[in-house]
Amino acid sequence: MDVPRWIVAMGGGGFSMEPENPLLDDALLDLARRTRGHDRPRVCFIGTASGDAAGYIADFHAAFEPKAEASHLDLFARTVEDIDAFLLDQDVVYVGGGNTMNMLAVWRLHGVDRALRTAYEAGVVMAGLSAGSLCWFEGGTTDSFGPRLRPIHDGLGFLAGSHCPHYDGEPGRRPLYQALVARGELPPGYAADDGAALVFRDEGLHAVVGSRPAARAYRVEPGPDGEAVETELETRFLG
């Protein structure tokens, strides 16, 4: 029997960016409870993009341990031998922010990309912000190679098209993403403000939710006149 597949892609927010505003993280846990059937969902944090920074991992545990069974997957001081089984045993995989391309390279070295695909197809909810939002798409925009934003084309591809996180949070994001989509250098896709989360079910957009009243997400496509067409998506404020 097929199980629904879920991805929650946050442009920014969550415990690391909004420590006093748990709305996005609580909505993620509510989704896990409904779809996975555990009052205390099993949530695994993957902080590869930050080099498994100890402070980032500690902040995750502090935020999630009161309301979930929290664990993390460390790849720089690896202790988990069977990553496939470890991720299949979760209800949520929560990917943190940082350097997207470094993260993808390390994942592929350790087989995490394959393990994530297996867990996703088994119904484990995939989620994350920034690098942890971008990684699920085919490509998007990243600062992985330095302060200048650049396109990438080799994301995991769980979701078709491209993505731009931090759409309102960093001034260069919006114009570059629109230009790349307009020129066909990136496929059409979705942009998300800080505090906005795109919720996908079975690879189709299911909802957009926000932890801030003004947070929004957008569909961005090439237009007939050589400019990008940006369509604001209906966003439900969680507050």
CB 189 within 8 A of CB 220: yes
Long-range contacts of residues 52-58, Cβ cutoff 8 Å, at least 24 apart: 52/76, 52/77, 53/98, 56/16, 56/96
Rounded CA-CA distance 124/87 in Å is 8
- List, as one string, the DSSP characters of 39-93: SS-EEEEE-GGGTS-HHHHHHHHHHHTTTSEEEEE-TTTT--S-HHHHHHT-SEE
Q: Is 72 a catalytic residue?
A: no
Question: Which one of the listed residues 16, 50, 130, 162 is annotated catalytic?
Answer: 130
Q: Is 130 a catalytic residue?
A: yes
207, 209, 131, 196: which is closest to 169 by C-alpha?
196
Give strand pairing partners of 124: none
96, 90, 154: which is closest to 119 by C-alpha?
90
Q: State the catalytic residues.
A: 130, 166
